[in-house]
Structure 1
Amino acid sequence: MDLNLLVAFDMLMTERSVTRAARRLSIGQSSMSATLARLRKLFDDPILVRDGRGSVPTPLAESLATPVHDLLTSVEAVLEPQDSFDPATAVRSFSVIANDYLTMTFLQPFIAGLATAAPGIHLTVQPMGDDAVDRLRRHQADLLVIPREELQEHASFPHRTLFHDRYVVAADRNHPEIGDRITLEQFSTLPYLAASSGRRRSLADKQLDFLGIPRNVGITTGLGVAPFLIRDTRLIALVHERLARLIADAAGIRLLDPPIPDLHPITEIMVWTPRTESDAGHRWLRDALTTLAETDPVGGRTCPSGEGSAS
């Protein structure tokens, strides 16, 4: 058989679309349709069938998807040159999945340094979403940076711990009811601004619920914008310390220790797939982000070098 058919099959299983698979392989849609016809003849199976506006794989295609993908990954690993990677001269694109908080507080210094340290490197930051892990698995991104607490399956991926970040209480700089500290009673009775990430509630609110801490929830908004809504109000919010320190002056807020001793910090990790484990460029990216986490540019809590590393 023509082994190139397996490459097309893998892309069709990834994209679930003839049009998108053709675009990813840089061939015409008619050529991809012809290739799908050859696959159907080879396996005596429709491979992809219409389902509403999209397509879904047949049971046979679904059963073949993982073995074929693993086979192609192994071939790439054998044929890929294992030479060194020089960021100063390399021309390459990387893609990282991260939320707005991580982009502003963690990735921004890395992005700023690329122009001088690695001018040929192009970085795309993809927004977080419910399909983030699937995008990583389908190799539509090189790295996923995410709180370990949000990815229960992180142990099944190569991963590395980047830093810890605790929560602080944010309040208006001139809040009339709060002094140098905030009591638990004030925390539970003052208007509370709850933050969410898309359709997911924040890890902070999940912890507060688990601890049985009541709140007077008045507004719910996104994580990134939450601190900027507090100025000139009686609202309080729990925010990540790295973000809070970065924007406190601009947002007109002050920061206080939360009156909840059992509130755990989040642990940010980066996750990748075995396919890129030994790639020299990918190793450079991982090491660069690890170094950035250790320099801690905005005063958060970092991890000792290598803590939590699975690489």
Structure 2
Amino acid sequence: MNLAGVDLNLLVALDALLSERSVTRAAQRIGLSQPGMSNTLARLRRLFDDPLLVRQGAGLAPTPRAEALAGPVRDALALIQGALEQRPAFDAARDRRSFTVSCSDYSVLMLIGPLVRRLAAEAPGVTLQALPRFPDAARALRVGEVDLVIEPPEIMSNPALPSQRLFDDRWMCCVWEGNTLVGDEMTLDAYRRLGHLTYSMGRGQAVSLADEHVARERVARHVEFSVESFLLAPFLLQGTDLVTLVLARAGPYLRRTADVRLLEPPIAFPVLTEMLWWHPRHEADPAHAWLRARIAEVAAQLDEQP
């Protein structure tokens, strides 16, 4: 008998028939009509080439073939039911898993770095690989090129994917500490007059959301240099009169490693919201859910910092 051609619902019906030994009661047990169960019994007889149940007085009696089937069928159904109800567990301290995360170097600094330090103690078997940003991050999730994406919603081509808000940030102007063309305040006139360093996602890709906003506001400026790395940009300001846009939460890190000043911008920028995205097929994966929760915890700690 070829199992691929067998409707497994027939085995559910056979188990009910052998247990109840009544077409009517078996039908009630699994939610079929009596004619429907009679039709199912006829299909079972053809499948096994055996009467299975024969009339005996007011009830039905199993044939020897049916009696031989009763135990294995009941065990098989119990095994299938158990497999369907069982949810695999994830033991972070012992299990091994590898995950890929697509995000900007800003997100690596703010989230992935602290997360890796945390996982080293809590989950030594978990490996994270940070990948550069994808031009179409939603597609990368769909085809399995990446497990998680950290991006603002404006970047995602499919905002209907499962997601979780991580944190908000705001844009600041960043200049070299020795820039003598700018005082303690970035005026709109100075912003227009200075040369600009911009950040993009790569060849042929869009500039940052902040630079897109500047273009929409029709603020005239002269872009002298563009770079892919958000974190590299402030270092390229050294010894220049250029200005760039950075995110405020990164300020303390940048000032510790680069000789820069952060100033309030002369125009209002929308708040940037970082979101965690994944594909629905990972929704119930315990290990995936565990990692998402750890990332969310690291993000929540950002709001607790002074």
Match of 2:156 in 1: 151
Pair 1:121–1:138, CA change in 2 (3 A): same
Question: What CA deviation, in whole Å up to 9, does each residue of 1:207-255 have, x standing for no partner?
Answer: 0111121112111112232111011110111112223331223111011
Match of 2:216 in 1: 210
Residue identity in the other structure for 2:254: I
Superposition TM-score, scaled by structure 1 size: 0.67
Match of 2:280 in 1: 274
Cα drift, residue 206 of structure 1:
0.6
Match of 2:290 in 1: 284
CA distance in 1, matches of 2:86, 2:257: 48
Question: What CA deviation, in whole Å up to 9, does each residue of 1:76-121 have, x standing for no partner?
Answer: xx75942442211221111211122211222100011211111111
Question: What CA deviation, in whole Å up to 9, does each residue of 1:1-44 have, x standing for no partner?
Answer: 998xxxxxxxxxxxxxxxxxxxxxxxxxxxxxxxxxxxxxxxxx
Question: What CA deviation, in whole Å up to 9, does each residue of 1:240-277 have, x standing for no partner?
Answer: 2223331223111011111112x112111111111111
Match of 2:108 in 1: 103
Match of 2:118 in 1: 113
SS in 2 for 1:182: coil
The partner residue of 2:264 within 257, 261, 270 is 257
SS in 2 for 1:169: strand
SS in 2 for 1:174: coil
CA distance in 2, matches of 1:276, 1:111: 21
Match of 1:241 in 2: 248
Query: Contact 2:137/2:157 (CA < 8 Å) preserved in 1?
Result: no
Residue identity in the other structure for 1:243: A
Query: Contact 1:97/1:126 (CA < 8 Å) preserved in 2?
Result: yes
| Structure index of larger Rg | 2
**Which structure 2 segments of 5+ residues have no match?**
5-82
Query: Contact 2:161/2:277 (CA < 8 Å) preserved in 1?
Result: yes
Question: What CA deviation, in whole Å up to 9, does each residue of 1:55-77 have, x standing for no partner?
Answer: xxxxxxxxxxxxxxxxxxxxxxx
Superposition TM-score, scaled by structure 2 size: 0.68
Match of 1:296 in 2: 302
RMSD (Å) for aligned C-alpha atoms: 2.3
The partner residue of 1:132 within 101, 116, 137 is 137
Match of 1:194 in 2: 198
Q: Which runs of 4+ in 1 moved over 4 A?
A: 78-81, 297-300
Count of residues in correspondence between the two structures: 225
Match of 1:167 in 2: 171
Residue identity in the other structure for 1:180: D
Match of 1:89 in 2: 94
Residue identity in the other structure for 1:272: W
CA distance in 1, matches of 2:161, 2:136: 16
Cα drift, residue 290 of structure 1:
0.6
Q: Does 1:122 align with 2:127?
A: yes
CA distance in 2, matches of 1:152, 1:257: 31
SS in 1 for 2:154: helix
